[in-house]
Structure 1
C-alpha cells in the first residue's frame, strides 16, 4: 500500500511517527494547523463531520488513526466527540470508500485498571484479557476497539488496534518504565501493522522494557514487531512518578 491517511497529524505521537513513513503517499488531517509534514497533502477538519471524514479517506489504501483527546483526566463531554463519534464516522467512511486497513491508536489505559489495582510480581497483562479501563479516556479506547472489531467482522475493512504506551523520547519518571514506547519502536510497530496479513487484532505498543507489564508477544507473532529499546537504560536517571497511568477511581484527575 502506498496512499496513507494520518489523522491527528498535529499531535505529539504523529510527530514521532513522521520520519518512519518516508516513501508513502501521505495525506494528513487535524482540527489544528499542521506543520512538519513536508510533501504530504495537508487538510484541516473535524472527523466527526461525515463529509470531512469521507473526503479525508477518499483514494486512500490505509489510515493511521491517531486523532483523539489524549487526556486521561478529561470529562466525558470532552472525550465523546474526538474519541468515540469520530472513530465511528471515520471507520464507516473508510469502509464505504474501500480502504483496506485502519491502524487504530488505542491505549494501555484500556487495561489500566489492572495496573491501578496492583499486579502480582512477575505478572504481565495479556492482550486477550478482558478490557479494564482505569478512566473515561480508557473506556473510549475500549469502545474504539469494539467498534473496530464490529466493522472488521463485516469483512470489508481490516482494523488493527495498537494499545500505545507512553511515546516519549526517553522515560521521564519511574512509571514510564513499565509502558514506555520509544519513537523508533513506534515507527516499527505502525509500519508492521500497515503490512501485516491480519483482519483484526489488538496489540500492546510498548518497547522491550525489562520492567514491562504489557505482553506484546502477539504483536511479534502476528505483525512481526520486534522492539529494540528498553526503558531500563534510563532507570537510574528518572524521578518517581506514575508515568501518566491512572492510579485513581473517579470522574476526573485532581
Structure 2
C-alpha cells in the first residue's frame, strides 16, 4: 500500500487531497502544526496524524522519525504555505520576507532533507510541491490571465522559488518523480474563500501527480488543464 504524507493537511487543499488519496487507497499522514486541529482532521478522515511545523527543523526531523518507525513513506506532498502580510509593497520588511520564505520555500528543503532517506526505500518515490501560477513568469505577464492582476511580491516570488526547487531536486534526484502542481484560483482560507474553483477542482493536479506511476515524468509543472507555463 502507498503511504503519503501531506503538510498543512488539516484544512483546505491539504485536507481535500488527503480525502481523495485515502479514497484511492493510500495510507495518509495528515501533518499539521496545530496538534488539536490536525488530530481532529485526521480522525474525521480516517487518516494518521503527525505533528509537523514546516518552519522548525527539529519538528520536521521528529515527524520523519515517527513515519519511518511506522513503515516508511512513498509520497511526500509539500502543501503548507502562507500568503504573508497584506500591505503595500513599500511597507514590507525583511522579517516579512523571512517568514514567508521560511514557510513556503525553506520548508521544502527541510522536508526533503528529513524525508528523502525514507523515500529512497520506496519502490515508487514521489514528491509533489504545491506551487502557484502566481509564481509563473509567463502567467504574470499575460494580461488575459488573472495572475497578471495580482501584486503580492513575497508570496508570488516564493512560489517561483518553489517551482525552481522542484526542477532542481528532480535533476539532483533522478530516481524520484518530483513535480509541481498549481491548484489554480481555489476557494480556501488563503484567499478568503474568493476563488472560483472548489477544493476538489483545486486538488486535481496534486492528486494526479501523487497517483502517477513510476514511469511518469519528473521536473514538470502542471495545473488541472495540463502542463503549465513556467
TM-score normalised according to structure 2 size:
0.70
CA contact (8 A) 1:162 1:203 kept: yes
1:92 aligns with 2:113: yes
Give the one of 128, 144, 149 matched to 2:162.
Answer: 144
Q: What is the aligned partner in structure 2 of residue 190 from structure 1?
A: 206
> Within 1, Cα distance between the matches of 2:106 and 2:146?
32
**Deviations 1:150-196, CA, capped at 9 Å, x for gaps:** 11102143211112222228xx99x85xxx43333234332211122
Cα distance 1:194–1:118, how it changes in 2: closer, same or farther (>3 A)?
closer
Indicate which of 56, 73, 76 corresponds to 1:60: 73
Q: Deviations over 1:34-71 (max 9, x none)?
A: 12222222122322333432443431100121111134
Report the number of matched residues: 194
Superposition pairs of residues 210-229 of structure 1, within 5 angstroms = 216-218=225-227
Q: Secondary structure at the match of 1:185?
A: helix
Contact 1:84 1:140 in 2 (8 A): yes
Q: Is the 8 A contact 1:17 1:186 kept in 2?
A: no
8 Å CA contact 1:109–1:135 kept in 2: the answer is no
Matches within 5 A, 1:1-254: 2-21=2-21, 22=23, 23-32=25-34, 33-34=37-38, 35-38=40-43, 39-57=46-64, 58=68, 59-71=72-84, 73=86, 75-97=96-118, 98=120, 100-111=125-136, 114-115=139-140, 119=143, 134-154=152-172, 155-168=174-187, 176=195, 180-196=196-212, 197-205=216-224, 216-218=225-227
What's the offset of the Cα at 1:139? 0.7
Is contact 2:127-2:179 (8 Å) kept? Answer: yes
Q: Structure 1 or 2: larger helix share?
A: 2
Given that residues 205 and 222 in structure 2 are in contact (C-alpha distance below 8 angstroms), is that contact kept between their aligned partners in structure 1? Answer: no
Q: Secondary structure at the match of 2:227?
A: helix
* Structure 2 unpaired stretches of 5+: 88-95
- Rounded Cα–Cα distance in structure 1 between residues aligned with 2:222 and 2:199: 17
Residues 118, 158 of structure 1: alpha-carbon distance in 2 compared, 3 angstrom cutoff: closer
